[in-house]
Amino acid sequence: MTTTLPANDVTAVTESVRQRYSAAAEAPEALLCCPVDYDPQYLKILPDEILEKDYGCGDPSAFARPGDTVLDLGSGGGKICYITSQIVGAEGRVIGVDMNDDMLDLARRHQGDLARTIGYDNVEFRKGRIQDLGLDRGALETWLQSNPVSDPASLERYEAQVAAMRRETPLVGDDAVDLVLSNCVLNLVSDTEKKQLFEEIFRVLRRGGRAAISDIVADEPVPDHMKSDPELWSGCISGAMEEEEFLQAFVDAGFYGVEMVKRDETPWRTVEGIEFRSVTITAWKGKQGECWDHNEAVIYRGPFRETRDDDGHLYRRGERVAVCRKTFEILTREPYAQYFEAIEPREPVEEPTPFDCAGLQTRHARQSKGLEYDATTEVSCGPDGCC
Ligand SMILES: C[S@@+](CC[C@H](N)C(=O)[O-])C[C@H]1O[C@@H](n2cnc3c(N)ncnc32)[C@H](O)[C@@H]1O
């Protein structure tokens, strides 16, 4: 292993991470471990070899639901995949991606036995780099064995093969999964490839899909001399993003509802006074697209006097704000639903018109009820009534 790492040298970062995790697949490495409380009911069936080689820092599997198709980035020994397999059930699927052959071997070694114990086989492990989920590296390596690159002509054939594989048989296609998970891996991707990594997470999720990511973040910028240290890189330190930068990366990739759902108070490690701790972030895909007016509105319940979404729209507590169908659907589902009242029009709109989402406006109660509405009712004493 090199003694210093040129900061942001993609090849050097990849190599230092590969060597470290190959060794960690052979024998447990205490320095890479971070205590996590997984739901014990899902651990009972896992072999010791997988439990001992747990290099996660959180439990994103808790965000999986029955029937989900789930992608686990940097699946390591397969623990999160096998936990998630039990949560999503026979109707769901789990795909683990890792670039390390030794980790993939470890995860696959137990697949048959675990499928028999669980009662179904809904897990698969694929070889690839998580910042480039379009390329199936396992398939490419197999192709290279019979098509080695040795001259300009074979180089051209190789490049054409890579392009064809990306187009026709991507490792993970567009809009392919309901949920992207990752446990302590994003920090291992070089800084220059981090933007692409978040864009890849966004690309593979279907509209309405979500990401749940546990990772290590720093409370201050990591200085260059620490970024040049291969031990610190592969040890989940050098590539840790700052807390705010980490959240913003999801927003920049196009996600909405980005939330820090867990932040460990106690740092996992402190290096030169910089605290490195585990956080778990959830984020949603689906705010892109056209805005149509269906005469719908929302009321922000509080507790703050006002709040803004990532696109700058302002919601004042108690105010009826006119929203397009897309925003209405977003604000009345997870993760926003608990903060908003949904106001639907008394009569559905048959011919919706384009809605200008640039500046939100209030919507008078009369607009929702209809100008002609003049009902007078008795006191309501039904199950939802107030007496
Ligand atoms: C800290 S371990 C976490 C493993 C697993 N998620 C867990 O909870 O035990 C990091 C894993 O990510 C893999 N990895 C690191 N960088 C990667 C990359 N760019 N693409 C794919 N896998 C990567 C490593 O090979 C290793 O298996």
Domains of the chain: 10-134+170-284 (3.40.50.150), 292-369 (3.40.5.100)
Q: Which residue has 């290096």 as its token pair?
A: 271
Which ligand 1 atom lies nearest to the CA of residue 131?
A: 19
293: β partners: 353
pLDDT of 141 above 50: yes
187 Cβ inside 6 Å of ligand 1: no
For ligand 1, the distance from its centroid to the CA atom of residue 362, given in whole angstroms, is: 48
For ligand 1, the distance from its centroid to the CA atom of residue 75, given in whole angstroms, is: 6
Total count of residues recorded for the chain: 387
Which of 104, 170, 161, 160 has the alpha carbon at shortest distance from 135?
170
97: β partners: 73, 126
At 386 the pLDDT is 62
- pLDDT tens-digit readout, 219-263: 999 999 999 998 999 999 999 999 999 999 999 999 999 999 999
At 2 the pLDDT is 46
For ligand 1, the distance from its centroid to the CA atom of residue 34, given in whole angstroms, is: 14
pLDDT of 110 above 90: yes
Which of 123, 132, 118 has the alpha carbon at shortest distance from 104?
123
- pLDDT tens-digit readout, 280-299: 999 999 999 999 999 999 99
For ligand 1, the distance from its centroid to the CA atom of residue 129, given in whole angstroms, is: 9
As a whole-number percent, the residues of the chain with pLDDT over 70 amount to 96
Contact 9, 90 (CB under 8 A): no
The Cα–Cα gap between 57 and 349 comes to: 48
Which ligand 1 atom lies nearest to the CA of residue 183?
A: 6
As a whole-number percent, the residues of the chain with pLDDT over 90 amount to 86
137 Cβ inside 6 Å of ligand 1: no
Averaged pLDDT, 7-17: 79
Q: Going by CA atoms, what residue is nearest to atom 3 of ligand 1?
A: 55
pLDDT of 130 above 70: yes
Averaged pLDDT, 150-161: 97
Ranges of beta strands (E only) in 44-101 are 69-73, 93-98
pLDDT band at 10 (very low <50, low <70, confident <90, very high): confident
- Average pLDDT value over all residues in the chain: 94
pLDDT band at 9 (very low <50, low <70, confident <90, very high): confident
pLDDT of 81 above 90: yes
- pLDDT tens-digit readout, 21-47: 999 998 888 787 677 889 999 999 999
104 Cβ inside 6 Å of ligand 1: no
216 Cβ inside 6 Å of ligand 1: no
103 Cβ inside 6 Å of ligand 1: yes
For ligand 1, the distance from its centroid to the CA atom of residue 185, given in whole angstroms, is: 5
92 Cβ inside 6 Å of ligand 1: no
Averaged pLDDT, 157-173: 98
At 1 the pLDDT is 43
185 Cβ inside 6 Å of ligand 1: yes
Residue type, 349: V
Which ligand 1 atom lies nearest to the CA of residue 32?
A: 1
83 Cβ inside 6 Å of ligand 1: no
φ, ψ of residue 196 to 5 degrees: the values are -60, -35
131 Cβ inside 6 Å of ligand 1: yes
Which ligand 1 atom lies nearest to the CA of residue 103?
A: 27
- Tell me how crowded residue 362 is: count the other CB atoms within 10 A of its CB: 11
171 Cβ inside 6 Å of ligand 1: no
For ligand 1, the distance from its centroid to the CA atom of residue 74, given in whole angstroms, is: 4
Q: Going by CA atoms, what residue is nearest to atom 27 of ligand 1?
A: 76
pLDDT of 382 above 70: no
Q: Going by CA atoms, what residue is nearest to atom 12 of ligand 1?
A: 74
pLDDT band at 8 (very low <50, low <70, confident <90, very high): low
At 16 the pLDDT is 87
Which ligand 1 atom lies nearest to the CA of residue 76?
A: 27
φ, ψ of residue 163 to 5 degrees: the values are -60, -40
The contacts found for 34-38 with CB under 8 angstroms, 24 or more apart, are 34/184, 34/216, 34/268, 34/278, 38/79, 38/83
197 Cβ inside 6 Å of ligand 1: no
Q: Which of 9, 36, 98, 193 to mutate to test the pocket of ligand 1 (most atoms within 8 A of CB)?
A: 98
At 184 the pLDDT is 96
